Amino acid sequence: MRLFVGIALNAEATAALAHVRERFASADLRWSLPESWHVTLQFLGKANEEQLGCVTARLREIRSRRVPVRIEGLGFFARAGVFHAGVSLTPELLALQQRVPVATRPCGFAPELRPYHPHITLARSKGREGNKALEMLRRTVERTGAALAVEFRAGEFLLYESLPEPEGSRYEVRARFPLQDD
């Protein structure tokens, strides 16, 4: 199984991103489904049942207050072929994100070496035509000055399993971890 830890979006954030998707949808890009949108805290990768149990137990030990999640702006990771919504790195989000790899390390998972750059993947390029479509989308987004700003307070974070399917991965929640009220 392939696992990752993340924050699900609320209805308002999902609706705002769905509007972006409707506005810019292109047949030459592989668009993420709204039910798959999330903010990743740590990608764990391949795991066995023992690691799943360890990760679940360790993540239950994390104590954190509710986390403000601010989705702002649209962007591109051109080399990776990704169109995304940006997520502001609030102190609370960063603190939670830093606790997750500390918790999962004893279960055999190494922390990411790259700086944390929270985002929500909206679409991916598919092949050469997808790269052209992504560049055209980038120009359109810049030309229209499309703005995006929505905020919510996350009351939990989740452990997901990524299940590959022909049209893209489907994510199943394996465990939920509540965050405390302020």
CA pair distance 108, 110, nearest whole angstrom: 7
CA pair distance 86, 75, nearest whole angstrom: 7
**Out of 19, 38, 84, 117, which one is annotated catalytic?**
38
Task: Verify whether residue 117 is a known catalytic residue.
Answer: no
What is the pTM assigned to this prediction? 0.91
**Can you say whether the dihedral through the CA atoms of 127, 148, 94, 163 is positive or negative?**
negative
Domain boundary assignment for the chain: 2-178
* pLDDT tens per residue, range 111-142: 999 899 999 999 988 776 667 888 889 999 98
* pLDDT tens per residue, range 41-79: 999 999 999 999 999 999 999 999 999 999 999 999 988
**Out of 19, 84, 117, 119, which one is annotated catalytic?**
119
Q: Which SS3 state, helix, strand or coil, does residue 64 take?
A: coil
Task: Verify whether residue 38 is a known catalytic residue.
Answer: yes
Options 3.40.50.2300, 3.30.70.3280, 3.10.20.30, 3.90.1140.10; CATH for 2-178 is 3.90.1140.10
